Structure 1
Amino acid sequence: MELKVFNFIDEVNNLLEDKRSILEEISIELSAYFQEILILNNEGYMNVNSRVKGNESLKEKILRNNYYKKYNSPQRVIENLSDLMGVRIECRFIEDEKRVYKILKKHFSKRDMDGYSYNELNNRIRLDLEGKQPQEQKNGFKIFRIDGVYIENGNKCNFELQIKSLVNTFWGEIEHKVIYKNNNYVMWDGFLKDIMASIKKNLTMIDNQLQIVYNQFNETNSGEPEVRKVQMELLLSKMIYEIYSNKMKTSIGIVVDFRKSCDTIMKYIFRSNNADNLSEYNHILLKTFTRLNEIGRNKVQFNSELEFEREVCFEGEFCEIIGNKMLQMLNEEFEWNLFFRVLFEIELGNNAEDFETFIAFIKERFEENNFDDLYINLDVKHGDAIKKDIMYVIAKLFVEVDSINFIYDNVIEKINKATRKLSRRIGIGIKNIDQWESVKGVFLKLFEYKLLALFDKNVKVSEVKDLINIGEKGNDEVHISSAVIDYIYKLDDMDEIKAETAIKFFKI
């Protein structure tokens, strides 16, 4: 026969499950409310989390605190459970904990008859701010832990609010999982207490060091926002690499160098979130840092296929060509799979939507301001038509080159440089669309060679000879370089030559 205490626990858990959906809604409201307070006060918090007490955690608490003796009904246990719901405000540093607490004290300025503080704009949510904070725990360490109540239509639900810095969040994980969840350590109590105190001291020192780095980061280049934006992108790129390289080693036993992928992902995250100023960059920095902190605690599989919730859609010819190529490769080649695995995990949500947004981002990267000079002598309609021709060449070569390097920042910059040069040449020399139609085959082929040269690719000798013949016939737009004289007789014995060599034969 089962002990009565376990029957009692089952009854409490059943009651909790009956209330869980309502409690989940309340916990979301609590999280949103505290987040709104911090946003209004422009406080640099990192995240606000909320949760409803889990069944196993509740079972453990009932047994540990003898609630089955203290309360005579499951309803009484639920009513008196101080952490029935939990809200945690995560901030960067220990000093930030105090700032957040002061903001809450200022916001919850009214007091009810039971001693709870509230704000007139929302009297459903109340905090007990009379006690001393931070509270000293049994282990001697301090924590900002505040009791709260949510009141609606006379019904009262308890919640516990914690304010924790990064290192104190980490410390809580250590203490909870290593000590609190492991009774085998009891015999080592004295020794363990000293060790844990040493760990806490070191974490506090790390917090001080991080605070110094952060302050220095804010002071350095304060007059150079673009420099600071680059620094932020590099900082998070390095964090992404460190987290995923460690998890890759654990999962598949090897680590591949994907630093440049991390750089591209980070640039995409900032651009796709429309970060235009330093304030927005700081917000995304904290948001991404928080997400990476969550990923760091999760298990990542590197040998599974990526899936989409729906069919992916593309806008325009360029996006369709490169998008379909990426779709083909992301579950065939490890580098592409890794790239989008990281991107999808950081950008939580819909994989199909994130993929479409990334393709649009790549299109924007290749467009940027590269085509402004096209419109020197041409109207918008004809300029746009030539732009489409050039973008098609870039998309076609993406498929042909078949390398993830194509979307790396250093390569995109080189391609964009070649694009701007071609656009300038067209803008100055081409007066109308008919003139473009007569020379575009040569212009685009030589542009193609320039891009292929970036990837050390070969081109067909027959195509090169055709271009030489066009130049020899006196085409005003194409001139043969003297370099071809030393090479022309060698071409007869070759099927292919380096693209880098081929472009030296011509002057446009």
Structure 2
Amino acid sequence: MKLELFDFIDETLKLIEENKDDLEKVAETLEKFFMDSFSINDHFLNVNYRIKSLESLKEKILRHNFYIKYKTPENLFQNLSDLIGLRIECRFIEDENKIYKDILKLFNIKEDDGYYSNSLNSNIMLRLDEKQPQKQKNGFEIYKIDGKYSKNGMTVNFELQIKSLVNVFWGEIDHKILYKNFNYMLTEGFFRDIMSSIKDNLAMIDRQLMLVYNHLNDMDASNSATKKSQLEALLSKIIHDIYIVKVRQEIGFVVDFKKSTDVIVNYISTKDGPEESENYSPNFLRILNRLNDISRNEISFNNYINFERNIYFEDNFCDKIGNSILKIINKDFRWNLLFRIIFEIEEGNNAEDFEGFIRFIKFRFYENIITVLENKELSKEDKDEITNSIMDAIANCFSKETDIDFINNCSINSLNNNIEKIFRSVNDYEDWRKQKEKILEEIMNYNF
């Protein structure tokens, strides 16, 4: 005969499944509320939610004897504190307290049993009469607040946590290594010592990241070029270090793609347009947060890169460069890796990002040519003709081998400097007409 405990579990899981859609709607409402309320704050990063899985709920019922405590599935449903889990993420450990204070300011209407509501959405209440942060069983602290959402006669409990980036990472370690590991009991003291050491190291990393962030914010705005250079160098190293490990794990050896990561960072930091250049810190932090997600994900380098639609090229230069790359993007590993990294970081439409990258390469040459011709005795029509001829020669030079080294910063700067030297002897259209064939041939046959 089946134990009543397991009938209780089956009925509870069925009840949760029947209310799944309602729980999802409540979770989305909570996520939007806290996102809208706190996104204006600089120390706020994101809000995530999860609805307790059936497997996790089953385990919790057994672990805590909820069958005895709550008697009926309906009673458990009404009293389970973390049926919905909500997590507010911030950058640093000290920002957790800032978020908590923001919550205290927002939820300032006292209700019954230690709960407080707010003037923006009275359906959402938080229990704020408990000391925060709370001490966990593992000895570490966490901001964990009980909440409830009541509407149309239905009340759903949720648990709100506030976590910095390092504590998000720490939470995953603690949950998967200790909480979910039933074999460590015999050497619990050893595990606790190791985990405590890891926590201390994460706290140190948090302080180091905060120093970097504060340094970036305090840098003199007049020194924006230095600031941009420092940010791009740091991002390039982070990207390289993340992917070199994943490449080694996936294919068993390491390829040299440091110059490619420099190009990737150049593209990402300028893709939003010139107006973005006045403030690099937000873009830096956006990319850093995305890289934090990527570092935890599995990445396969065996699959083809596909596009959602046909690629559109705006002119002859982009067409030649772009189609040359498309022919080998799934054959040449370094080209494949470069665009795989871009597409993963940007998380959007692959076709749009590919087109944007080709325009970025075009701009690197086009801007230099415009500068070179600026003070020459040439009409606008003459300048357009010369510019198109040089751009076409550059595209032909690239298309001969489609070598990825062509687009690294050293190669682009080298060719741009050579073009500048060539045009020192060109002052007007007559000079161009006489030297045109020689100039274009030299550009098309340029060796890096």
Same fold by TM-score greater than 0.5: yes
Q: Distance in 2 between matches of 1:386 and 1:243?
A: 43
Residue 61 of structure 1 aligns with an amino acid whose one-letter code is K
**What is the deviation of 1:129?**
2.1
Cα pair 1:47 1:90 within 8 Å, conserved: yes
Pairs aligned (count): 447
> After the TM superposition, which residues 85-484 of structure 1 pair with which residues of structure 2 at under 5 Å, given as runs?
85-113=84-112, 115-219=114-218, 223-274=222-273, 276=275, 280-374=279-373, 376-421=376-421, 426=426, 428-430=427-429, 440-449=436-445, 452-454=446-448
Can you list the C-alpha shifts for 1:10-60, whole angstroms capped at 9, x where unaligned?
A: 33333333433443344344334323333323x233333222222222221
SS at structure 2 position matched to 1:40: coil
Cα gap change, 1:366/1:159 in structure 2, threshold over 3 Å: closer, same or farther? farther
Cα pair 1:221 1:227 within 8 Å, conserved: no
Cα gap change, 1:31/1:238 in structure 2, threshold over 3 Å: closer, same or farther? farther
SS at structure 1 position matched to 2:184: helix
Residue 163 of structure 2 aligns with an amino acid whose one-letter code is K
Q: Which runs of 5+ in 1 are unaligned?
A: 455-508
SS at structure 2 position matched to 1:159: strand
**What is the deviation of 1:212?**
3.4
SS at structure 2 position matched to 1:368: helix
Cα gap change, 1:13/1:367 in structure 2, threshold over 3 Å: closer, same or farther? farther
> Which deviates more from structure 2 when the two are superposed, residues 265-274 or residues 377-386?
377-386
Cα gap change, 1:48/1:423 in structure 2, threshold over 3 Å: closer, same or farther? farther
**What is the deviation of 1:416?**
2.7
| 2:53 is the counterpart of 1:54 | yes
Cα pair 2:397 2:443 within 8 Å, conserved: no
Q: Distance in 1 between matches of 2:423 and 2:149?
A: 63
**What is the deviation of 1:103?**
1.9
> Which deviates more from structure 2 when the two are superposed, residues 325-334 or residues 64-73?
64-73
Q: Distance in 1 between matches of 2:277 and 2:365?
A: 24
Cα pair 2:270 2:276 within 8 Å, conserved: no
Q: Distance in 2 between matches of 1:437 and 1:20?
A: 74
SS at structure 2 position matched to 1:126: strand
Highest CA radius of gyration, 1 or 2?
1
SS at structure 2 position matched to 1:238: helix
SS at structure 2 position matched to 1:50: strand
Residue 387 of structure 1 aligns with an amino acid whose one-letter code is T
Structure 2 match to 1:477:
none
Q: Distance in 2 between matches of 1:259 and 1:23?
A: 46
Cα gap change, 1:266/1:154 in structure 2, threshold over 3 Å: closer, same or farther? farther
SS at structure 1 position matched to 2:444: helix
> Which deviates more from structure 2 when the two are superposed, residues 157-166 or residues 210-219?
210-219
**What is the deviation of 1:411?**
1.6
**What is the deviation of 1:165?**
1.8
> Which deviates more from structure 2 when the two are superposed, residues 228-237 or residues 124-133?
124-133
Residue 39 of structure 1 aligns with an amino acid whose one-letter code is S
SS at structure 1 position matched to 2:309: coil
Identity, % of aligned positions: 47
Q: Distance in 1 between matches of 2:279 and 2:65?
A: 50
Can you list the C-alpha shifts for 1:228-266, whole angstroms capped at 9, x where unaligned?
A: 121111111111111111111111111111111111111
C-alpha RMSD of matched pairs (Å)? 2.6
Cα pair 2:90 2:165 within 8 Å, conserved: yes
Structure 2 match to 1:481:
none
Structure 2 match to 1:487:
none
Cα pair 1:371 1:423 within 8 Å, conserved: no
Q: Distance in 1 between matches of 2:411 and 2:435?
A: 27
Q: Distance in 2 between matches of 1:51 and 1:225?
A: 41
Structure 1 match to 2:34:
34
Structure 2 match to 1:506:
none
Cα gap change, 1:277/1:325 in structure 2, threshold over 3 Å: closer, same or farther? closer
Residue 186 of structure 2 aligns with an amino acid whose one-letter code is M
TM-score (norm 1): 0.80
Q: Distance in 2 between matches of 1:373 and 1:366?
A: 11
Q: Distance in 1 between matches of 2:236 and 2:43?
A: 21
Q: Distance in 1 between matches of 2:47 and 2:359?
A: 31
Q: Distance in 1 between matches of 2:43 and 2:414?
A: 38
Q: Distance in 2 between matches of 1:189 and 1:174?
A: 15
**What is the deviation of 1:422?**
5.3
SS at structure 1 position matched to 2:89: strand
Cα gap change, 1:130/1:390 in structure 2, threshold over 3 Å: closer, same or farther? same
Q: Distance in 1 between matches of 2:377 and 2:27?
A: 62
Residue 215 of structure 1 aligns with an amino acid whose one-letter code is N
Q: Which runs of 5+ in 2 are unaligned?
A: none
